Structure 1
Amino acid sequence: MSNTSGAHILVFPFPAQGHIIPILDLSYHLAVRGLSITILVTPKNLPILNQLLSKCPSIQTLVLPFPKYPSLPPGVENVKDLPRETNAAFSMLHALGALHYPILQWFQSHPSPPTAIISDFFLGWTHSLACQLGIPRVVFATSGALPFATLNSLWRTMPKLPDPADVDASLSFPHIPHSPKYPWNQLSPIYRYYKEGDPVSEFIKEGMRANQVSWGIVFNSFSELEGEYLEHVRKDMEPAHVWAVGPLLPSGEVGHTERGGASSVPAGDVMSWLDECTEGSVVYVCFGSQVVLSRRQMEALADGLDASGARFVWSVKESTGGHAAGEYGVVPAGFEGRVAGRGLVIRGWAPQVAILGHRSIGSFLTHCGWNSVLEAIVAGVPMLTWPMTADQFINASLLVDQLGVASRVCEGAESVPDSIQLARTVTESVSSSWTQRTRAKELSRAAEGAVREGGSSYKYLDELVTELSELSVRPTDEKKT
């Protein structure tokens, strides 16, 4: 392990749970290797750092007011609290660009300012800020290498749908390994909703293209999982540095606590409930921090879990702004009574890493967000896929068609699963004979080996620390290269 000191790094997360948490885990690993870390957040996101700051008190914070923005509700500073409208997250992304000048002021007044910026790939505008400051910017990718490569291709070539009414038309990516092909409506909405000349769209396009010319990129992935796609990105973004340092997961007791907010069931009670279940008998159901299911989806899922006869833990996100009362995130009346003893419903945040790591978990019904995918891979838990948006369709295809660690159950944010078929699939997923289980265990061992001393991710992390440490002694012009 590298153990150096002196280099000061500014870390800037995008304010969404799935973006903040992995970059905080990266920050921890950088700090324990001797780097001086300052994390930039807005006031209402500061509590998310509590666990990290208590574990690693050397980490500093830069707390800046969230910029006022006309189309965002007052007081909202995190994507999880946004209204349901698709463009709300894009507005937040645009709003954060107003922090350029406050950050610049902070840098210019700091007695020992950072020698590099590590920022979320949604914050591409920080590349121009870094250039203005004469320091390099490193992209932190919250997706895997395959979706990142796909998104890079889209913003570089700007393809259009020949027939706007044919959203199922497929788009091919022949230059990416295995020449993947995806329906238009399964591509990232951050590209699909682009409107030429629109200020928000043009700001996003500029930021996405800035990612392609930044000094380096850090992936929360590992060579044994996405080797050929990581190699493609290295060639595609040359001469940029590319480090695959994942899976980035919490260490020690942090994984057994609530890191994302309030919960209706304390983490200790969840683990005690799981302790009473037999090995591999429980299906864990969770769709991340942003997805809120409609009433019809909730009913179909509840019916499927009920009919499966399997034990389950279901993490439910309740409705936020923009959801019609009683139509979203509501557990059907009487359901919890019917499944009492074999089903546990959690409203709010669930200690997902700890749940997936429990011996009783046999499968994971997931939206295929990248963090969830990695957490399941580390735990050796096979998956049932229900991708909703963003990179999730690409992740699901990777899991099912290439890695063989998952089965499909549904696709799309508006789709409603067949409860009878869902019940059959859930029952199969907690059986000892499910073929995906063997491959999931193999991939888990590969992930463990990657982060162990001498493993691929361990080496890349040490290399990243070394490169960042050397920046403090390089000439300014070289830093910007």
Structure 2
Amino acid sequence: MDNGVNGSVKQTVVLYPVGGVGHVGPMTQLAKVFLDHGYDVTMVLIEQPIKSTDSGAGFIERVAASNPSINFHVLPPIPTPDLATSPKHPFLLILELMRQYNGELESFLCSIPRARLHSLVIDLFCTHAIDVAAQLGVPVYKFFASGAGTLAIFTQLPALLADRRTGLKELGDTPLEFLGVPPMPASHLVKSLLEDPEDELCGAMMKILKRNAGTRGVLVNTFESLESRALRALRDSQCVPGQVLPPVYAIGPLIGKAGTDKAWHECLAWLDAQPDRSVVFLCWGSKGALPKQQLEEIAAGLENSGHRFLWVVRTTPAGSDDPKRYWERRGEADLDALLPAGFSERTKDRGLVIKSWAPQVDVLNHPATGAFVTHCGWNSTLEAVAAGVPMLCWPLAAAEQKMNKVFVTDDMGVGVEMEGYREGFITAEEIEAKVRLVLECEEGRKLWERAIELKKEAGEALEDGGLSQAAFLQFLSDVENL
């Protein structure tokens, strides 16, 4: 396959994610795969209209600095409305903004000689760019940074909603049947998809989901043995009757590697002093801020369990029960004010509480880590799978986390749920019980055996000749043969 490696000029792949850590991060891992196969890669970004600590501001600069082989191109700014004061939902405004950038995207793509331009790879929320690619005759593919199970549901959902006059919210926890996945409680779908189909936000999401068919194929951040049932469904002609779906390429797990983060952290030295598989690691992702009352329950549960723990604390401002308000300020949590009196002193010999951030991939791959309390974001899920660590599933309300919880517990068999997540509050007794279950009981031993099995399969998938490697090579071949 001639990608220009043996010639004078390499072919260029253009990646186009919507901004934000959860989109740019996985797309960066995809960029590394293209680089490994000899392609030039340019990641095209837009100026974010809203700056916040979780928007990706600063993160993108760090990513660019640590990945000099990737070209980062920010499209010229265009006049935009004041998103902060607009009555429209921010998501709708971002979608409209991406559409308005089509002209700038087209100009950039035209600046690359057509013979050099290999393909345009967009993420889920950049579907307006399909029109640009079609106009220029550029092969366009979608990169789905979540799992195949979520993609299977998203693919089938428009047909389900087309037969309903009302939304799915009224169904509560009623299980919905989709091809390729376990029964999914209606309440666990992405929040915007539960609204009335006539709702503007729900309608916008439906248009996005339907446009998968407008691409040449979908690259999915998963691997065959992890989600074989969902992948089979996506390749089944009956998945969406009357519609021919594009090819699906399972090319994951695309995650960061342990030991690549240059920032040393005290928790790694602390873990070095702990016995193997003895520590429960608690971290709820970049947006996992919890109110003080919940933090007190966690502290009590960990203390009563008697087990070692490494706990990353993000919290709301004092007096606030709204986790979103955490991001209105910068600064770190005052642990003494948040945790029960004497907790730190009583647990100092077996626990470490840290503020805001930990090198998660390094922690999960450390021999001392025995369990992972997680919000079930897909990146975190894959990182735990690749590290061979069982999960205690505590999904929050955001995105597809509750769906991922069902996949982890019911399909993958590598985690258990923390009861109470549906109500948004988990007791100290539940925390203690589940920590003990994973670290002490026979059920926990079986979870560990399954986790080690999946770790082995994840590694094999990425090896030369592995299924994920083969899927990526098939994708390259398909582009060449268009």
Question: Which residue is equivalent to 2:128?
Answer: 125
Deviation of 1:117 (Å) = 1.2
Deviation of 1:53 (Å) = 4.5
Question: Which residue is equivalent to 2:141?
Answer: 138
Aligned with 1:246 (options 245, 248, 252): 252
**How far apart are the structure 2 equivalents of 1:87 and 1:413?**
25
TM-score, scaled relative to structure 2: 0.83
Aligned with 1:457 (options 461, 465, 468): 468
**How far apart are the structure 1 equivalents of 2:175 and 2:154?**
12
Question: Which residue is equivalent to 2:51?
Answer: none
Relative to structure 1, is the Cα distance of residues 136 and 268 closer, same or farther in structure 2, using a 3 angstrom cutoff?
A: same
| 1:311-367 deviation per Cα after TM superposition (whole angstroms, max 9, x unaligned) | 1122233449xx964764665244444433422223223211111000000000011
Matches within 5 A, 1:260-299: 267-299=264-296
Q: More deviation in 128-137 or 142-151?
A: 128-137
SS in 2 for 1:138: strand
Relative to structure 1, is the Cα distance of residues 137 and 125 closer, same or farther in structure 2, using a 3 angstrom cutoff?
A: same
SS in 1 for 2:209: helix
On the 8 A contact 2:166/2:197 being kept in 1, the answer is: no
Deviation of 1:169 (Å) = 4.6
Question: Which residue is equivalent to 2:329?
Answer: none
On the 8 A contact 1:387/1:410 being kept in 2, the answer is: no
Relative to structure 1, is the Cα distance of residues 270 and 66 closer, same or farther in structure 2, using a 3 angstrom cutoff?
A: farther
SS in 2 for 1:248: coil
Relative to structure 1, is the Cα distance of residues 203 and 21 closer, same or farther in structure 2, using a 3 angstrom cutoff?
A: same
Q: 2:272 is matched by which residue type in structure 1?
A: D
Relative to structure 1, is the Cα distance of residues 363 and 412 closer, same or farther in structure 2, using a 3 angstrom cutoff?
A: same
Question: Which residue is equivalent to 1:33?
Answer: 37
Deviation of 1:26 (Å) = 0.9
Aligned with 1:418 (options 427, 433, 438): 427
Matches within 5 A, 1:80-479: 87-111=89-113, 114-158=117-161, 160=164, 166-174=170-178, 176-177=179-180, 180-193=182-195, 196=198, 198=200, 201-235=202-236, 236=239, 238=244, 240-251=246-257, 253-254=259-260, 256-257=261-262, 267-319=264-316, 325=320, 328=323, 331=335, 332-333=338-339, 334=341, 335-389=343-397, 390-410=399-419, 412=421, 415-431=424-440, 433=442, 434=444, 435-468=446-479, 470=480
Relative to structure 1, is the Cα distance of residues 156 and 213 closer, same or farther in structure 2, using a 3 angstrom cutoff?
A: farther
**How far apart are the structure 1 equivalents of 2:293 and 2:216?**
47
**How far apart are the structure 1 equivalents of 2:291 and 2:79?**
31
Q: More deviation in 121-130 or 340-349?
A: 340-349
Question: Which residue is equivalent to 1:79?
Answer: none
Deviation of 1:189 (Å) = 1.7
Q: Which has the higher contact order (CA 8 A, sep 6+)?
A: 1
Q: More deviation in 159-168 or 115-124?
A: 159-168
Relative to structure 1, is the Cα distance of residues 107 and 2 closer, same or farther in structure 2, using a 3 angstrom cutoff?
A: closer
Relative to structure 1, is the Cα distance of residues 289 and 410 closer, same or farther in structure 2, using a 3 angstrom cutoff?
A: farther
| 1:419-459 deviation per Cα after TM superposition (whole angstroms, max 9, x unaligned) | 11211211232237422111111111111111111111111
Number of equivalent positions? 447
On the 8 A contact 2:462/2:469 being kept in 1, the answer is: yes
SS in 2 for 1:395: helix
On the 8 A contact 2:172/2:185 being kept in 1, the answer is: yes
Q: 1:424 is matched by which residue type in structure 2?
A: A
**How far apart are the structure 2 equivalents of 1:368 and 1:106?**
36
Q: 1:8 is matched by which residue type in structure 2?
A: T
**How far apart are the structure 2 equivalents of 1:31 and 1:466?**
16
On the 8 A contact 2:251/2:472 being kept in 1, the answer is: yes
TM-score, scaled relative to structure 1: 0.83
Deviation of 1:221 (Å) = 0.4
**How far apart are the structure 2 equivalents of 1:241 and 1:17?**
27
Deviation of 1:10 (Å) = 1.0
On the 8 A contact 2:3/2:11 being kept in 1, the answer is: no
On the 8 A contact 1:67/1:95 being kept in 2, the answer is: no
Q: More deviation in 370-379 or 455-464?
A: 455-464
* Structure 1 alignment gaps of length 5 or more: 75-84, 258-265
Is 1:60 equivalent to 2:71 in the alignment? yes
Q: CA RMSD in A?
A: 3.1
SS in 1 for 2:225: helix
On the 8 A contact 1:155/1:191 being kept in 2, the answer is: no
Deviation of 1:306 (Å) = 2.2
SS in 2 for 1:346: strand
Relative to structure 1, is the Cα distance of residues 107 and 94 closer, same or farther in structure 2, using a 3 angstrom cutoff?
A: same
Question: Which residue is equivalent to 1:15?
Answer: 19
**How far apart are the structure 2 equivalents of 1:143 and 1:443?**
18
